[in-house]
Amino acid sequence: MRTGGDTKTRKSRRSLAIPQRVVRELRKQRARQDALRKRAGDRWQENGLVFPSEVGTEMDRHNVLRGFRRILKAAGLNPQDWTPRELRHSSVSLLSDAKVSIEIISHLVGHSDTTVTERVYRHQLRPVIEEGANEMDRIFPDTAA
């Protein structure tokens, strides 16, 4: 989905490893797209998109949000409680809870260093920061206590 131009700079483009679960889902998406292409016939406009509209064109933000809300509802979640942007924050929270380092999280979300990551995701990173403090207590026990 593009909204008013490409938001990625040359420096921000990067390759990332993706979980096998995502690879499987992308293969299913390819099959769904083949069915869309066939159904659209002459109306199909090939643009090389992974998630195109029903005729192969870019989806606008309203279509994306509508589809996103439909998925949330099917999952039993309140669509008014979620936005696509929150998936990014949830991902950072899950990685943080799994004790993935701030450096790796920062790289995954495309920040050049951890400063931006720590500022933007400070609430999601709290477990990593607390774990660091707990580890320091373990390494340097307080003998005065």
Distances (CA, A) of 7 to 11, 16, 78, 96, 138: 11, 18, 29, 26, 44
Given this model, what pLDDT does residue 114 score? 87
The span from the CA of 58 to the CA of 49, in Å, is: 7
Given this model, what pLDDT does residue 120 score? 79
pLDDT digits (tens, 9 = 90+) for 69-118: 999 999 999 998 888 888 888 888 888 878 888 888 888 888 888 888 88
The span from the CA of 9 to the CA of 6, in Å, is: 8
The span from the CA of 138 to the CA of 130, in Å, is: 12
Taking Cα atoms as reference points, which of 110, 118, 116 lies closest to residue 11? 110
